[in-house]
Structure 1
Amino acid sequence: MRVVVTDYNFEDLGIEREVFESIGAEVVGADAGTEAEVREAAEGADALLNQYAPVGPAAFDAAPDLRAVGRYGVGVDTVDLDAATERGVWVLNVPSYCEDEVSTHTLSLLLACERQVARFDSAIEDGDWDWKIGRPIFRQRGRTLGLAGFGKIPQRLARKASTLGLDVIAYDPYVDREELAEHDVEKVAFDGLLERSDAISVHTPLTDETRGLFDREAFAAMDEESVIVNTARGAVIDVEALADALEAGEIRGAGLDVLPEEPPDESPLVGREDVVLTPHVGWYSEESIVELRRTVAEDVARVLEGEAPENPVNDLGPE
């Protein structure tokens, strides 16, 4: 059996090899970045492990014996689910591994924006020691944090934010009011989220419904002293609209761990004093990276051994 890792930025594939050698499977690492490169790498594969490269119909056609594609992460927008399902290929993810890391990173970005950490640091490097550079800065207790989406990560964030005295509201059409109330979170409509939040944290998946959810109209509806944080999917925010909103003073700042294009190429957000950027690192800790890799590799191994996967994304019906 042959397992191809389409792309990865780990130091090695030792964890994967340990898992697959136990079932007699060979692990081959590739450096694919395009659909054509993924197709070439996938030839003859029984399974794929995938990080960022696009896995489209051509890859499935190049590997007629393919049985599973395992995605390093929660989201699977790199994989064509319809093409996989049509060909009877399991798509697997890691739905739970970094809730602590992402919720903590989100809070870090929020506080960096609210307390103007990056701006003060940059000013001091330039020889400017002046607390007034960061004005205005507001006390967090009593302010309102709005959550767009209310899955496991924002649930943990809500608990952490409450220790700072933040009031938490959430927009999520798929979570009922009673469940939100169990977390001491008020359910609001999207308009209410925009109008009432002093800070908004984005936690939605990337779907047709959420792509560009935060657009020019959304930013215009937000308070001019509000900030937005995104540790979910970059394309949920229209970055051109965000840059224009910041330039026009419609909102005060942004903290982003994800962008539509990673790494960004001439993004209007890079270099702005009112934007804090991190390189899609919210998921990372030494513990989480091991958990991520081992979990998805072991699930792919289950499929190759004829067992049912634990974390399927698509439905292939009974085995």
Structure 2
Amino acid sequence: MQKFKAVIEHATFYDLSMERDALGKMGVEVVDIVESGADIRKEAVDADAVMVETETIDRDLIYSMKKCKIIAVYATGYDNIDVKAATERGIFVTNAGNYCSEEVQDHALALIMASVRKLFLYSQALKSGNWEKKLGRPVRSLLDLKDLGVPIKGIPDTVLGIFGFGRIGRGLCRKARCIGFKVIAHDPLVPPEEILKEGATPVSFEELLEKSDVISIHAPLTEETRHKFSYNEFKKMKKTAILVNASRGAILDEAALVKALKEGEIQAAALDVLEEENPPSEDNPLFKLDNVIVTPHCAFYSERSQMELRRRILNQAMQALRGEVPDNLVNREVLAKLGRE
């Protein structure tokens, strides 16, 4: 049987038994970068398949690969891969598609609800004590502490703005509308009639900033979306607005966000992603702000989605090694390069 080599880097799961078993039956040597501590830049040189989650696969590394057929990404986003270079080299690039759409929708909605209802503010205030100092008057009953979060809008009076109206944005729209939110949305790549079909109102980016009580970001990280939300954008938002990001950290300019939050240009933020995550800095100023909720890039996660993620990427690698065009191909132009259109 022909011998192949697969190099695997993984950050959110730890046991490669499923991958070793399936690939082993194809005569594939599996190199676990995490377990072995090996250098991916050395191991990938003679790899037939590279399966990565957070590692950056840049042009230099891609051009050093002698026989790679596929770079499969354990994620929906693939901004850590130089797709253009891979296409030039005739290498498939794949991602995990919509494997965790439901989970991200639910996580974003949880962040939205926690922020709108000021759950973390109330919880922290209650647990930290010094109630009379915080309230500025004697506390007669628990009900008095309600005033720490005043005002709070009712859900039917709250406008949710969605930036990015793909699978996740649309799913969030449906769920939010069921709860009672009014939904507006902006996505330059989606026809207005498709947004209207979901019960949302299509708006310009400027209108999204000006009209939203909450903005939830669900766009990929591209050159067009990098730092799309910066200080000028925050100044155009309502001072009571809440910003939610469960997409990619660099869509926000974090330094500008910190400044806007401290100056009261917007009310609060709820983030599942950060600009710097590999590793994050414990000194990130966002962690010190009371009007910020941060979760550790876990919106994608459930036991179900984790297994689906691994299954999809494993299947794609096996397809490429068998000489097939893999599922979830993100650089379809590579087919012309390979004469397989």
Q: Output the TM-score relative to the length of structure 1.
A: 0.95
- Of 20, 25, 30, 1:22 maps to 25
Q: Which residue of 1 aligns with 2:16?
A: 13
CA contact (8 A) 1:40 1:62 kept: no
Residue 330 of structure 2 corresponds to residue 313 of structure 1: yes
Contact 1:39 1:58 in 2 (8 A): no
Q: Are residue 282 (structure 1) and residue 282 (structure 2) matched?
A: no
Partner of 2:289: 272
How far residue 185 of structure 1 moved from its aligned partner, in angstroms, is 1.0
The higher radius of gyration belongs to: 2
Aligned residues: 317
Structure 1 letter corresponding to 2:322: E
Which of 193, 200, 208 aligns to 2:215? It is: 200
Check whether the contact 2:63–2:85 (CA below 8 A) recurs between aligned residues: no
2:78 to 76, 79, 84: 76
Residue 133 of structure 1 deviates from its aligned partner by 2.2
Among residues 47, 52, 55, which one is paired with 1:53 in the alignment? 55
Deviation at 1:131, TM superposition (A): 2.3
Per the alignment, residue 101 of structure 1 pairs with 103
Structure 2: how far apart are the matches of 1:19 and 1:120? 50
What letter corresponds to residue 87 of structure 2 in structure 1? T
Look up the equivalent residue of 2:162 and give its one-letter code: L
Deviation at 1:38, TM superposition (A): 2.9
Q: Tell me, which stretches of 5 or more residues in structure 2 are unaligned?
A: 132-141
Q: Share of identical aligned residues, percent?
A: 39
Listed as ranges, the gaps of 5+ residues in structure 1 are none
One-letter amino acid matched to 2:315: E
Counterparts of 2:157 and 2:307, CA distance in 1: 38
For 2:92 and 2:11, how far apart are their aligned partners in 1?
Answer: 20
SS of residue matched to 1:163? helix
- Check whether the contact 1:227–1:252 (CA below 8 A) recurs between aligned residues: yes
2:46 corresponds in structure 1 to 44
State the 1:15 CA deviation: 2.4
CA drift at 1:121: 2.0
Find the counterpart in structure 1 of residue 243 from structure 2.
228
Q: Aligned letter for 1:101?
A: E
2:267 is aligned with what amino acid? R
- SS of 2:244's partner is strand
| Structure 2 counterpart SS, 1:308 | coil
Deviation sequence 1:257-280 (CA, Å, 0-9, x none): 011101432222112110000000
In 1, Cα distance between equivalents of 2:234 and 2:89: 42
Superposition map of 1:171-182 within 5 A? 171-182=186-197
| Partner residue, 2:116 | 114
- Post-superposition, which runs of at least 4 consecutive aligned residues in structure 1 deviate over 3 A? none
Please say if residues 108 and 246 of structure 2, whose CA atoms lie closer than 8 Å, have aligned partners that are also in contact.
yes
TM-score (norm 2): 0.89
* Cα distance, 1:110 vs structure 2: 0.7
Supply the AA of the counterpart residue of 1:6: E
TM-fit CA distance, 1:158: 0.5
**AA at the equivalent of 1:145:** L
Q: How far apart, in 2, do the equivalents of 1:28 and 1:185 lie?
A: 47
